[in-house]
Amino acid sequence: MTDTDQDDEGPVKGGPDGAGVGAVTSPDDPHCGFVALIGAPNAGKSTLLNRLVGAKVSIVTHKVQTTRTLVRGIALQDNTQIVFVDTPGIFSPRRRLDTAMVRTAWSGASDADLVVLLSDARKGFDETAQAIVGKLAGVKGPKFLALNKIDTLRRDALLEVATKFNEALAFDQIFMISALNGDGVDDLFSAIAKAMPAGPWHYPEDQLSDFPLRQLAAEITREKLYLRLHKELPYESHVETESWEERKDGSVRVQQVIYVTRESQRAIVLGKGGRTIKDIGAAAREELSEILERPVHLFLFVKVREAWADDPERYRELGLEFPNN
């Protein structure tokens, strides 16, 4: 994984056969496309993305709306490069941050070559699913449905859920999967690869994500924070990487700040005698060291930043558009 700026050119748009308009292609030509993973919060999008890529590129927690911005993971199959885009969960927004996240999710779907709607099969075709499918009907391009967590339902119940989805929107293909244990994911991955348009690869062969390392490090710490305190800590908590120093011995020194909205929340994050933040730091440091394959010296600080979710600068840092309404 490298911390480099990438070309922001969009994907090559193709004709009905997936080739560039007017182009003559062969199966041996390179193919590349963008795939948006959309769905309700906690549908399993980040878990699926990590499995498709074969590495952790998106954090996973019990807390809903953990993903706040577009996270891209890159996978290869033969001569095809697939750029998966993990989008924030789609839900009815109540706050300014919610609105920005939902708009970003739909933007990611509109810009993709293929949209995969991931839905928790246990929830059936509920109101949230109906709303997503209704809006998805207006998005151009092929659409796959992936019913997740299939190990929790009988086959007849799964088929009933799939039928309801397909009656509302004629999906190009439907898959039954378990993102957690991998059932059905290989079939989904192969179908996605076949649907990608002809065109040059957008990223180097060995790159797994376009996430800058500083931002990935902040996300890893935010994951450990939520896993440790998800019932006690408000959703608005935020982590920023303030400094990243490459040291002569090959290690890296990382300094981060955890922002909360009230002094009482700061005390929760610190814990008695600083025990909680030490545990969070140890877990984050261990995972970062594994990802970077070198020692990491991680220093965490906790600060109060009231109403950060109303600060346009914070949205720019997250790659979100600040909503004025």
Least confident of 98-102, 144-148, 243-247, 294-298: 98-102
- pLDDT at residue number 14: 37
- Residue 89: pLDDT band (50, 70, 90) is low
The CATH number given to whatever domain includes residue 135 is 3.40.50.300
- 16 vs 174: which has the higher pLDDT: 174
Instruction: Flag whether pLDDT at 82 surpasses 60.
Output: yes
287: phi then psi, degrees, rounded to nearest 5: -70, -40
305 and 226 assigned to the same domain: yes
Tokens read off for 216: 């990935």
User: Is 156 among the domain residues?
Assistant: yes
Alpha-carbon distance of 322 to 23, in angstroms, equals 40
Most confident of 83-92, 132-141, 311-320: 132-141
Using one digit for the tens of pLDDT, what is the confidence trace for 172-199? Answer: 999 999 999 999 999 999 999 999 999 9
Q: Count CA atoms closer than 13 A to 133's CA, side-chain side.
A: 21
- 225 vs 62: which has the higher pLDDT: 225
177 and 291 assigned to the same domain: no
Instruction: Flag whether pLDDT at 131 surpasses 80.
Output: yes
- pLDDT at residue number 41: 80
CB 260 within 8 A of CB 304: yes
- Token pair 């700026």 in the structure block, residue: 5
- Residue 312: pLDDT band (50, 70, 90) is low
Instruction: Evaluate if pTM is beyond 0.85.
Output: no
41 and 155 assigned to the same domain: yes
96 and 244 assigned to the same domain: no
161 and 239 assigned to the same domain: no
176 and 254 assigned to the same domain: no
CB 83 within 8 A of CB 32: yes
- Token pair 């980040």 in the structure block, residue: 46
Radius of gyration of the chain (CA): 20
Alpha-carbon distance of 272 to 256, in angstroms, equals 20
Alpha-carbon distance of 201 to 207, in angstroms, equals 11
Using one digit for the tens of pLDDT, what is the confidence trace for 253-282? Answer: 999 999 988 899 999 999 999 999 999 999
